[in-house]
Amino acid sequence: MTPTPRDSRRRSTKPEKAADGNVSSAPAGPPTHASTPEPANRPLEPIVRVLASAGTGKTHALSTRLIRLLADGAEIDDIFAATFARKAAGEILARVLQRLAAAADPSTPAETSTLAAAIDRSTADALFFRDLLVRVTANVDRLAVGTLDSFFVTCADAARFELGLPPAWSIGTEADLAN
C-alpha cells in the first residue's frame, strides 16, 4: 500500500530510545513549548459511547475527552465525534473552544487547573492550553464534530458511483416521502 499524505502525517507508535537509554512507547506529539506536561497516565479507550438524559453532562464529558485526545497529541483528522442533533454538535465544538480559551487565559488560574485535572495533566499551564487552542482553531474546519446523518451522507457521497447515486442526490425528508 502506498502511503498517502495523511498516512505520512501519522506519528510513529514504535518504541523510541531516549538519549538516556530508556525506551518510551509514547508517540511523538506535535512540538510545543518547553513546559509541556507528559501525556496522561490513564489510557483512553479508542471508542466511547455516551448515553444519558438531557442535562446530565454529556457535552462536558465529550468536550473533556476531545481536549484530552488533542492534548495527548492526537491528529485532528483522526478525531470523530457524532451526535443526533446539529445543535448538540455545535455545542460540543463551542464548549471545546470555550474551555480551552478559559484555560489559556493567565488571569483565570482556576479554569486552567480545573481543565488540567479533568484531562489528567496536573502540570498543564495556561501556555500549554494556549498552544492547544491555537492548534485547534487553526484546524477547526478539520475537526469532525457532527451528526450521525452528516457522517452517513459523507460516506454515501464518497461511494456515490459504486452505489449508483445521481450527482445531485440528497437524503429525503418526511415531506418527500408524502409526495
pLDDT tens for residues 25-62?
A: 334 444 344 445 555 556 667 777 888 888 888 899 99
Report how far residue 75's alpha carbon sits from residue 62's, in angstroms, rounded to the nearest whole number: 17
Contacts with 61 (C-beta within 8 Å, 6 or more apart), sequence order:
50
pLDDT at 14 over 50: no
Q: What is the pTM of this model?
A: 0.69
Q: pLDDT at position 135, please?
A: 96
pLDDT score recorded for residue 118: 95
Cell of 120: 489528567
Query: How high is the pLDDT of residue 43?
Result: 64
Average pLDDT, the chain: 80
Instruction: Assess whether pLDDT exceeds 90 at residue 83.
Output: no
The predicted structure's pLDDT at residue 3 = 38
How far are the Cα atoms of 35, 46, 128, 129 from residue 32, in angstroms, in the given order?
8, 24, 8, 10
DSSP label of 84: S
CA distance 39 to 89: 27
Centre a 10 Å sphere on the Cβ of residue 140 and count the other Cβ atoms it contains.
13
pLDDT score at 106? 97
CA-based diameter of the chain, in Å? 72
Cα 156 to Cα 158: distance, rounded to the nearest angstrom: 5
Query: For residue 78, what is its C-alpha cell?
Result: 483522526
Give the residue with greater pLDDT, 37 vs 71. Answer: 71
In the structure, how many helices (H) and strands (E) does the chain have?
Answer: 8, 4
Place of cell 505520512: 8
Condensed to tens digits (0 to 9), the pLDDT of residues 86-135 reads 899 999 999 999 999 999 999 999 999 999 999 999 899 999 999 999 99
Separation of alpha carbons 78 and 32, rounded Å: 19
The whole-angstrom separation of Cα 89 and Cα 176 is 25
70-80 mean pLDDT: 91
d(CA 129, CA 118): 13
